[in-house]
């Protein structure tokens, strides 16, 4: 018998404007977990227009990671995101059995899920 994994990563992806934010907050609240954002534009503090960064009221409902934590002057890529997101997952799995990752950057999703 194969043992069942004890920790899970739920990935919610899709294009801008399809309702990922509302759904991810509903899921995260129902599972009492946190959200890792994998949107390659929402990471930047200076990019507020055209990136659909969640409103502050949404960010206060559920803890989000990788939202506006970089400057556009910082060098960043999928490899760095993979490294940082995997570290964050290790940290979050200490308190949560399930973590939610959401966004539209499939390159970043693949970096975390497939290496």
- Residue at 1 is within a domain: no
The length of the chain, given as a count of residues:
115
- Categorize the per-residue pLDDT at 55 as very low, low, confident or very high, splitting at 50, 70 and 90: confident
CATH code for the domain in which residue 51 is found: 3.40.50.300
Range of the domain at 89: 8-114
- Residue at 21 is within a domain: yes
**What confidence score (pLDDT) does residue 3 get?**
67
- Residue at 36 is within a domain: yes
Domain count, the chain: 1
Render pLDDT for 59-71 as a digit per residue (tens, 0 to 9): 889 999 998 888 9
- Categorize the per-residue pLDDT at 50 as very low, low, confident or very high, splitting at 50, 70 and 90: confident
- Residue at 77 is within a domain: yes
The pLDDT of residue 2 is above 80: no
- Categorize the per-residue pLDDT at 1 as very low, low, confident or very high, splitting at 50, 70 and 90: low
- Residue at 106 is within a domain: yes
- Residue at 2 is within a domain: no
- Residue at 96 is within a domain: yes
DSSP conformation class of 70: B
Burial 69-103 (b: 16+ CB within 10 A, else e): ebeeeeeeebeebbebbeebbeebeeebebbbbbb
- Residue at 3 is within a domain: no
């Amino acid at each position: 018998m194969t043992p069942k994994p004890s920790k899970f990563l739920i990935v919610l992806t899709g294009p801008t404007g399809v309702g990922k934010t509302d759904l991810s907050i509903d899921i995260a609240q129902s599972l009492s977990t946190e959200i890792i954002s994998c949107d390659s534009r929402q990471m930047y503090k200076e990019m507020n227009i055209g990136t659909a960064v969640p409103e502050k009221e949404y960010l206060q409902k559920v803890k989000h990671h990788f939202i506006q934590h970089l400057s556009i002057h910082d060098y960043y890529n999928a490899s760095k995101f993979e490294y940082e997101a995997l570290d964050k997952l290790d940290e979050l799995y200490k308190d949560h059995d399930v973590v939610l990752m959401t966004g539209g950057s499939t390159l970043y999703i693949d970096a975390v899920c497939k290496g």
